Structure 1
Amino acid sequence: MSTPQQPIPSGFTAASTTSDVLRGLDLTGKTAIVTGGASGLGRETVRALRAAGARVMAPVRDLARATAALAGIDGVAIEPMDMLDPASIDAFAARFLAADQPLHILVNSAGIMACPLARDARGFESQFATNHLGHFQLTARLWPALVRAGGARVVSVSSMGHYFSPVVVDDPHFDRRPYDPWAAYGQSKTANILFAVALDDRGQASGVRAFSLHPGGIAGTGLERHVPVQALIDNGVLDADGKPIHDPARGLKNVAEGAATQVWCATHPRLDGLGGVYCEDVDIAPLAQPLGGAFTMADAAILRGVQPYAVDRGTAAQLWHLSERLLGLEACR
């Protein structure tokens, strides 16, 4: 049964941190994989899950950089994996499955944003390939371990950026339309939400539940590297001196606040028996009114909720079948 797209409410707020969410929870005996675990929200998620007792693995593209970034967090297993390299994803999953162990938590946190047009070796647009298809493939390959857990959660880190664009199923790689970096980012973030909808439909019978979320606006994580500083200042993300503005009520958070929603989705008992929903500010988000007109970064500070096109079950099924075809696999069966 699908979960209503409306606040529970959770008892937490936009200013709640990962420590608030995990207070009193013991994750000893749980195994988690966190992509993008060497920086920003991913690193804070790794730290928080380890602090609560989970065994945590971080698959990363740059082993040396990740080793340095995670040096202050004891006991994290770092493995090589490149989200744009399907053979690399398969190899990582095969190594994990070879240990015949359950996977209780998969946090798909790696991502890129608003970058210039680039294509991988298959000709796939890089934001769609990294943010959606790479995580789709990883989840599909790890499916036996998720089922073995007898109660697992898959968390996809999306964004309010999904307002920039629905998924254009007929042209996801901008082969026949002009490339726009924000439209490409928005499409990939909408895909993250639709993936959670479709995965939850397929996973419920096997005890696998899926969630997506908007973490908030967190400057300084490196995700915004392709966005001019002046644009961030103009849109109220940075102050006149280029320093991050902290205002959780407007969605402008620090890393511990930003990662709180994905950690909540991954661990909190309040979500037991629920799934397939988009969350924000450590709660299930409301369903928003369809957006009329263009969306800008400044809108993210005042708008809340998920666009209807991002949680449409028919579109989610379309995207699922497209992803299987593009990757040449049958997923989660």
Structure 2
Amino acid sequence: MTTPQQPLHSGFGAASTAQDVIKGIDLTGKVAIVTGGYSGIGLEASRVLRAAGADVVVPARDPERARAALTQADGVEIEEMDLIDPASVGAFAGKFLASGRPLDILIDSAGIMATPLRRDAHGYESQFATNHLGHFRLVNRLWPALVAARGARVISVSSRGIRFSPVVFEDLHFERRAYEPFLAYGQSKTANALFAVELDRRGRGQGVRAFAVHPGTIVDTGLAKHIPEESLRAAGALDEEGRPVRDPARQHKTVAQGAATGVWCATSPQLDGLGGVYCENCDISPLVTAEDEAGWRAHPGLPGVLPYAVAPQAAARLWEVSERLTA
């Protein structure tokens, strides 16, 4: 059975931090991999997982930068990996598998946002290739380690950016339509959400559960570097002096608040036996109905996920397409 998109009333909320949700949880003996684990919410996730006792591995395109960023997270392992390069993903995964360790937690936090049109070596649009296909390859290569954990969780960092676009199967890589950075970003974030749905369906019989998360709007992580400052002001993410707006009730969060939902999904016993759902504010998001969609789009503080981002048929189709694209 698919876990319904219905809130659990977890006791946490939009203002909860990663430290809040992991309090009292002992991860000694557990192993976690956090992509993007040396910046933004990924860095905070790495820090709190390590502080709770987990062995944390951070794959990084720039290992030296990662080492500099992770000086306050003693004992985090850093390995080289570039998500957009299949050979690099394969080399990282192969080295991890050779260690013989099970993988209890995989947080797919790395990503790019609203970039100019770029393509990878296969001609695939770079946001889809990085945010979705890179993690698709990684999860599939690490599958034996996830199964060996006997209760692994995979966290796919999505976004309220799902509102910009469904997955357009007829033209995934903007070969026949005009490229628009936020359409491409939205498509990749919808793909992240759908990936969790199908991954959970395929994995739950072997103890692998998956969750998609919307972390909130956190503008001071470097992710928004391609977005003009005036656009961020218009969206209410920056004030008139260019400072980040902190208002968790409208999803404008600190890094510590932004990391909370992913850490909650990765570690909370409240989610035992559940999976395949989209979460935000440290809870399962409600499904946005057709009648409520206009209001949801107009009010960024309202939680919810659009049906096309959690549709099982679209998730299964995306998996099959992704297998072909990464073959």
What TM-score does the superposition give when structure 2 sets the normalisation length? Answer: 0.98
User: Residues of 2 paired with 1:235 and 1:289: CA distance?
Assistant: 24
Give the conservation status (yes or no) of the 8 Å contact 2:108–2:154: yes
Q: 1:164–1:295: 8 Å Cα contact kept in structure 2?
A: no
CA–CA distance in structure 1, aligned partners of residues 73 and 241 of structure 2: 32
- Cα gap change, 1:269 to 1:187, in 2 (>3 Å): same
Whether contact under 8 Å (1:18, 1:260) holds in the other structure is yes
The residue identity in structure 2 corresponding to 1:162 is I
Task: Give 1:267's aligned residue.
Answer: 267
Deviation of residue 303 (structure 1)?
Answer: 3.6
Aligned to 2:305: 306
Instruction: State the secondary structure of the residue aligned to 2:305.
Output: coil
Residue equivalent to 1:284: 284
SS at match of 1:78: strand
Alpha-carbon contact 1:93-1:142 (below 8 Å) kept: yes
Superposition map of 1:177-256 within 5 A = 177-256=177-256
CA separation in 1, counterparts of 2:4 and 2:152? 20
Letter of the structure 1 residue corresponding to residue 28 of structure 2: T
Q: Does the 8 Å contact 1:194/1:315 carry over to 2?
A: yes
Q: Which residue of 2 aligns with 1:119?
A: 119
Partner in structure 1 of residue 3 of structure 2: 3
Does the CA-based 8 Å contact 2:195-2:318 persist in structure 1? Answer: yes
Residues 117 and 181, structure 1, Cα contact 8 Å, conserved in 2: yes
1:294 Cα deviation from its structure 2 partner: 12
| Alpha-carbon distance in 2 for matches of 1:194, 1:300 | 23
Shift of 1:292: 5.9
TM-score normalised over the length of structure 1 = 0.96
Identity %: 63
Once the 2 structures are TM-superposed, how far is the Cα of residue 219 of structure 1 from its aligned partner? 1.3
User: How far apart in 2 are the matches of 1:63 and 1:302?
Assistant: 36
1:281-331 Cα distance to aligned partner (Å, 9 max, x none): 0000000124867998xx462342000001110000000000000001xxx
CA contact (8 A) 2:108 2:157 kept: yes
Once the 2 structures are TM-superposed, how far is the Cα of residue 2 of structure 1 from its aligned partner? 1.2
Alignment size in residue pairs: 326
What is the CA–CA distance in structure 1 between the aligned matches of 2:307 and 2:81, rounded to whole Å? 33
Q: Let me know the Cα RMSD of the aligned residues.
A: 1.4
Structure 1: give runs of 5+ residues left out of the alignment.
329-333
Q: In the TM superposition, what whole-angstrom CA distance separates every residue of 1:115-172 from its partner, at most 9, and x where no partner exists?
A: 1000011101000000000000000000000000011000000000001000011211
**Within 1, Cα distance between the matches of 2:164 and 2:289?**
14
What does the per-residue CA deviation read over 1:82-138, in whole Å, with 9 as the maximum and x for residues that have no partner? 011000000000000001110000000000000100001110100000000000000
- What residue in structure 1 maps to residue 94 of structure 2? 94
Structure 1 stretches (4+) deviating beyond 4 angstroms? 291-296
Q: Distance in 1 between matches of 2:180 and 2:107?
A: 28
- Do the aligned residues in 2 keep the contact of 1:152 with 1:209 (CA within 8 Å)? yes
Conserved? CA contact 2:249–2:301, under 8 Å: no
Contact 1:160/1:300 (8 A) holds in 2: no
* CA spacing shift, 1:294–1:272, aligned 2, 3 Å: closer
Is contact 1:251-1:300 (8 Å) kept?
no
